[in-house]
Structure 1
Amino acid sequence: MTASVRRAVTFALMTLIALSVSGTALAAEGPDDAAARRLAERYAPVVRMQQETSSCTGEQFRPTDVQAVLGNQEVALRGPWRPPDLIKIQPADSDLGRRYPGHFLDFPGDPLRPGCDYADWSARINADHPATVYAHVAADPAFPEQLSLEYWFFYVFNDYNNTHEGDWESIRLVFDAATPEAALATEPTAVGYSQHGGAERARWGDAKLELVDGTHPVVYPAAGSHANKFGRRLYLGRGSEGLGCDDTTDPLPPIRPRVAYVPMRSADYLQEYPWLAFQGRWGERQRSFFDGPTGPNMKASWTAPIQDAEATWRDDSTVVPAGTLLGPSSTDAFCTAVATGSNLLRETLDRTWLLGLLLAAAAALVWLAASRTRWSDAVPLPARSERAWGQSVAAAIQLFRRRPALFGGFAAAFAVLSLVTVTLARLQAERRDAPADLGAPTENATGFWASLLALAITILTIATYTVLLAAVIRTLDQLDRGVPVTASAALLHVVSIRGPLVRVATQYVVVLFVLTIFVATIPLAIYYAVSRAFVVQALVAENLSGGTALRRSRELVSGRWWRTAVPLAIVVGLGLAAGPIAGIVLLLATDWSPTLINVVSSILFAVAMPVAAAAVAYLYFDRSTRRSPGSGELPGAPRTYAHNGEKGLEHDLPPARSES
């Protein structure tokens, strides 16, 4: 027998065996399974995972064939006792068929400190198995005229705020049909995508539902959490939407997972997939929400899919608005705060002593900072006075209360100056939201323009802060001299000295940028940032040139670097954080829209920043006064005078530049 004949005979035998096995499987299925199989293939989802990153912080996982886990010698089945006893290493389908309530599968790795372990393991086991989705058609006794088609995705790890081993997600299609055969003759009425504790609904034909070839819904699993989304957005989670932010903004090209059909009747699917009897957890048991999940057969949607949809589906998800109105975004701060808090909790969950130590250290730092300063006897004028940093903050607030119109003008001007920045930020966000399938030339162009927009936003933000600092110090300087001043006059003066301001701001930013490029020079950047923090104030209040103002700031801070750095960090931090903190509280305590909450936080930011700028100005005047001629101050000491019943100071400096 020739080799070609042997190959032909072998192929024929393999084909006969495959047909025999397939026929046996079909014969074991119920009468509706043939139609249900066709239904599952017709509507099989198209999946767009998120881009991976080299640091294991992006999407590292894909829909996994359960057979890649079962029978794996790195997986263990453990009991419900504490500590959990080992039942079996390398559990197989037949083992899980024994149900094992309260037990759990244990994968290689530590879910509280995952590192890249699970990502590496997932890549290794998925190399020999295609991406897989499990399809199951189910009826609901309470809704006999409707049918559900579920697609279940399994991931070996949930790399989200609540990291845990194993992750089951699903999408569900609902048909107004009593049988799979009838469903083939119609279209779905609704689609639900699982998202944390609930699901988002789309009507068939809705604009947000993306379809391929008219029947295959496109699914965007969020990075890490695998919450199924309808589009490319940054989603904000509260309540059933989860707690935190889901990102689907950077998807990979679409993949079509292999559809593993699960028969309708339990006797049939348990014969083909014994693991669907498992009543334990598909991942290591941990405290709270770091626990591994139960499987599809333990979900309400498995036996009562329409009832579950009525109870848990919602019509939309909360999207983080593109760009911000003014200042730090409350929604962005919320995303960061939840992720940071979750990481802290995860790192200390099994080390309560460390959590207690960190909380005690934070409380001690707050107490130390508040107790090492004075808050009382803080009068806003004269500005050139020695003050504790607490008095600087209190004096700035008193000045705001006494002159609300003046500071209201600063807040309005600050908002106006930021509108251009906001517009550019929105343009950048629109570039980010552009479709990914645009081809290489367009993608390169998008990246180029996005970089230019980011640079423009950075420059305008720095310019806005610099103008505010200069206008506020000009105002206090004039008030100290007894000269009437308005917000518009202060801003006009800033415009008249724009040349020196631009030069010192540019030098300050460029030096900081260069020093922060390398990790080793970051301490130098911090030192430089504090020692030159009063350069704008010195330039405006003392009529100095740019280079002289930089040296003057360094002289004022010399010998008092730590006593300057801490108050500056607190004052500027409070100014920047006032809006976002209020926004986070509103996000957690209300059902207001993120856009409205960002508006509220932007207003608070616009009010807080002039007050923070005034507090920094008072810190500058304190440092300047402490170096007066009688006590080491540089020439140009102020002297006391009386003006309109308020004690003031007059400066022995060259006359201020005329305003135009």
Structure 2
Amino acid sequence: MTVRRTLVFALACVLFTGLFSALSQSQPAAAAESPDDVAAQTLADRYSPVVRLQKLGTRCDSGEQFQPTDVNAVLGDQQVALRGPWRPPDLVRTQPEGTDLGRGYPGHFLDFPGDPLRPGCDYAEWSARINSTHPATVYAHVVADPAYPGQLSLEYWFFYIFNDYNNTHEGDWESVQLVFDAPTPAAALTTNPTAIGFSQHGGAERARWGDSKLEIVDGTHPVVYPAAGSHANKYGQRLYLGRGSEGLGCDDTTRPATELRPDVAYVPMDRADYLKQYPWLAFEGRWGERQRSFFDGPTGPNQKTSWLHPIQDAEATWRDDSTTVPAGKVLGPSGTGVFCTAVGTGSNLLRETLDRIWLLGLLLAALVVLIWFAASRTRWSDAAPLPARRRRAWGQSVVSALRLFRQRPGLFGGFAAAFVVLGLATLLLADLQAARRDSPTDLGAPTENATGLWASILALAITVLTAATYVALLAAVTSTLDRLDRDVPVTAAFTWHDVRSRARPLAAVAVRYFVIIAVLTIIVATIPLAIYYAAGRAFAIPAVMAEQVSASTALKRSRLLVKGRWWRTAGPLAIIVGLGLSVGPIAGIILLLATDLRPTLINVVSSLLFALAMPLVAAAVVYLYFDRSTTQAESPGSGDLPEPDRTYSRQGRP
């Protein structure tokens, strides 16, 4: 009897325990299966984005090395630490879990393996390791805005472990947000979104559902192009120029190579429910190492305005378009191209010296001293433009060129006009390139078809045209100064006749000069030889015109003029040519930062300034040539140099 009672009691305990366990496990499921959440999850699956990542770089510091990451791949990892807000930051916990972050921890931050100021390959290798066992993931959350009761927001949040952009930093949260004219998720399932916003640095860009710039797959899945490194979400394959809320720099989406359909991790609508499933959404700290300025790690989605007030945030921060960098190569360095390079270079310099302010101060001081030294080691006064054949300091060469331009604006204006015509030709070639790839004719926004044989041929043609025009300009300015020196008539017709009569040796010098430099610059180790050769033969074109010698003799003549004075020649040439090349881009950068002008127009302005500067540069180079030739003639042992073979009459006709 006792045994029977014991068995009955044991069986009752088992049944009771099983029933209690089943009831306790069913409670969260019941909460997660609320009608609104069921409809919201269906909505999240229906509109989940298609992500087209950029081409993986061949090195860890190029291309795209990161993908949308499952937060669970980071939390609990032995290389992650939670640190406090004190200085130096104290270690709070290693391998923090989601439940640890659920305590809030305002002012704290997660510390990932690596140094964001000198990332090297650490983050790329860590990302590859943790993502190899976790699928790409996006977190979907549906939220109603109290200020807009008739609308609903569906947000997708992407987490990347590193922002490999100008402002390198650990952690990166980006989002895609859809807006519905519907009060509930169930109602949203019966209609289409009215608008969509892609996060981009400090702002976002909107599109109407069905806009031509928005790609949609299978009727409901928007296509997003994360920019390489920065992960700013873009609508197309372009090179985007950032100012203000668009970020500072250039975002590249021109080479999409990997298409992902991340797993959708649905975040319940109610705070209590989503904190049970994702306790890390209560974290009030930063998802990345604390650093100065914009190298700091970001806060999480729950700390963004759009988390609780998505429609209000959209109305306040979304803009209608983004600025694209014109792809068509214009005459001279473009303002936008130099802007992209300058921002990247400047941010790298700042990043490398941020924790070594003394080094940044030392570099700036060295630059100031160098400019002061170069300016003080020359003379600027007594710079009469004529006679051309006399000894001058390089500062006097610059001033003489300016005064000559002022005295003969018509003639030098004609020289500048030749470059303007060339600039128009390059714009036409750019439009042809844009038309060939069926893209908008805004000087072409580059796409994946912007490279290839046709683009390479166009780029080569523009480069050859620019070089040929500069050679002709340098020859024309030399002829002009030579005629003025000999007091014979100077007109545009005479000048261009002189250039045409010396076309063969000019072409031979140009081909040898530019081909040798191009070959030497292909290999990094021989770049110093290219620089040495470029300065040593810089006076070959003036020698062809002023001394009427062959191409080979002109190259030899230039080498002899520079021999023993290479540094004194290369320095002034670098300053003069550098000033001429930089005036357009500097003006372009100022216009980019201070105005809302279209980049196309800004590049045209840069090109026009380049066209005006080149005749001045050519005149200054010719004055340097006459200084060297005069100095050489006055020095002993110059009798073995070739004599000029002039064929001009006193009236200036050949």
TM-score by length of 1: 0.91
**Aligned pair 1:316/2:318, yes or no?**
no
**Aligned pair 1:522/2:527, yes or no?**
yes
Matched letter for residue 41 of structure 1: D
Rounded to whole Å, the distance in 1 between the matches of 2:627 and 2:25 is 88
Rounded to whole Å, the distance in 1 between the matches of 2:584 and 2:204 is 31
1:35 aligned to which of 22, 36, 39: 39
Residues 1:30 and 1:298: Cα distance change in structure 2 (over 3 Å): farther
* Other-structure match for 2:368: 363
Rounded to whole Å, the distance in 1 between the matches of 2:33 and 2:303 is 22
* Other-structure match for 1:229: 234
* Other-structure match for 2:63: 58
Superposition deviation, residue 99 in structure 1: 0.7
1:480-521 residue CA offsets vs partner (Å, 9 max, x unmatched): 111222334323432332221111111112211222232332
* Other-structure match for 1:299: 304
The answer to whether the 8 A contact 2:51-2:261 is kept is yes
1:159-191 residue CA offsets vs partner (Å, 9 max, x unmatched): 111000000000100000000000000111100
**Aligned pair 1:145/2:150, yes or no?**
yes
Rounded to whole Å, the distance in 1 between the matches of 2:267 and 2:275 is 9
* Other-structure match for 1:67: 72
* Other-structure match for 1:655: 647
Rounded to whole Å, the distance in 2 between the matches of 1:627 and 1:466 is 24
* Other-structure match for 2:545: 540
Rounded to whole Å, the distance in 2 between the matches of 1:487 and 1:88 is 79
1:345 aligned to which of 326, 346, 350: 350
* Other-structure match for 1:454: 459
Which secondary structure state, in structure 1, belongs to the residue aligned with residue 72 of structure 2?
A: helix
The residue correspondences of 1:237-276 to structure 2 (distance < 5 A) are: 237-276=242-281
The residue correspondences of 1:160-199 to structure 2 (distance < 5 A) are: 160-199=165-204
1:383-435 residue CA offsets vs partner (Å, 9 max, x unmatched): 11100000000000111111111111111112213433343345456668879
1:580-609 residue CA offsets vs partner (Å, 9 max, x unmatched): 001111111112221221121111111001
Superposition deviation, residue 445 in structure 1: 11
Which secondary structure state, in structure 1, belongs to the residue aligned with residue 259 of structure 2?
A: coil
Q: Quick check: 409-418 or 32-41, which moved more? A: 409-418
1:45 aligned to which of 45, 49, 74: 49
* Other-structure match for 2:487: 482
Residues 1:510 and 1:325: Cα distance change in structure 2 (over 3 Å): closer
The answer to whether the 8 A contact 2:54-2:257 is kept is yes
Residues 1:589 and 1:434: Cα distance change in structure 2 (over 3 Å): closer
**Aligned pair 1:377/2:371, yes or no?**
no
The answer to whether the 8 A contact 2:56-2:63 is kept is yes
Residues 1:444 and 1:193: Cα distance change in structure 2 (over 3 Å): closer
Rounded to whole Å, the distance in 2 between the matches of 1:446 and 1:81 is 50
2:554 aligned to which of 537, 549, 564: 549
Residues 1:473 and 1:98: Cα distance change in structure 2 (over 3 Å): same
Which secondary structure state, in structure 2, belongs to the residue aligned with residue 655 of structure 1?
A: coil
Which secondary structure state, in structure 1, belongs to the residue aligned with residue 160 of structure 2?
A: strand
Rounded to whole Å, the distance in 1 between the matches of 2:25 and 2:600 is 58
Rounded to whole Å, the distance in 2 between the matches of 1:338 and 1:149 is 35
Residues 1:68 and 1:300: Cα distance change in structure 2 (over 3 Å): same
Which secondary structure state, in structure 2, belongs to the residue aligned with residue 157 of structure 1?
A: strand
Rounded to whole Å, the distance in 2 between the matches of 1:322 and 1:119 is 30
Rounded to whole Å, the distance in 1 between the matches of 2:640 and 2:492 is 29
Which secondary structure state, in structure 1, belongs to the residue aligned with residue 345 of structure 2?
A: helix
**Aligned pair 1:618/2:610, yes or no?**
no
The residue correspondences of 1:435-454 to structure 2 (distance < 5 A) are: 447-454=452-459
Rounded to whole Å, the distance in 2 between the matches of 1:391 and 1:445 is 45
Rounded to whole Å, the distance in 2 between the matches of 1:652 and 1:444 is 52
Rounded to whole Å, the distance in 1 between the matches of 2:161 and 2:449 is 35
Q: Percent identity?
A: 73
**Aligned pair 1:593/2:598, yes or no?**
yes
* Other-structure match for 1:277: 282
Rounded to whole Å, the distance in 1 between the matches of 2:26 and 2:438 is 46
The answer to whether the 8 A contact 1:133-1:151 is kept is yes
Which secondary structure state, in structure 1, belongs to the residue aligned with residue 632 of structure 2?
A: coil
Please list every run of 5 or more consecutive structure 1 residues that lacks an aligned counterpart in the other structure: 1-16, 436-441, 638-650
* Other-structure match for 2:471: 466
TM-score by length of 2: 0.91
The answer to whether the 8 A contact 2:139-2:267 is kept is yes
Q: Quick check: 444-453 or 90-99, which moved more? A: 444-453
Please list every run of 5 or more consecutive structure 2 residues that lacks an aligned counterpart in the other structure: 1-20, 441-446
The answer to whether the 8 A contact 1:385-1:622 is kept is yes
The answer to whether the 8 A contact 1:428-1:454 is kept is no
**RMSD between superposed Cα atoms in Å:** 2.3
Rounded to whole Å, the distance in 1 between the matches of 2:32 and 2:316 is 34
Matched letter for residue 224 of structure 1: G
Rounded to whole Å, the distance in 2 between the matches of 1:443 and 1:240 is 26
The residue correspondences of 1:107-118 to structure 2 (distance < 5 A) are: 107-118=112-123
Rounded to whole Å, the distance in 1 between the matches of 2:629 and 2:635 is 12
Residues 1:224 and 1:433: Cα distance change in structure 2 (over 3 Å): farther
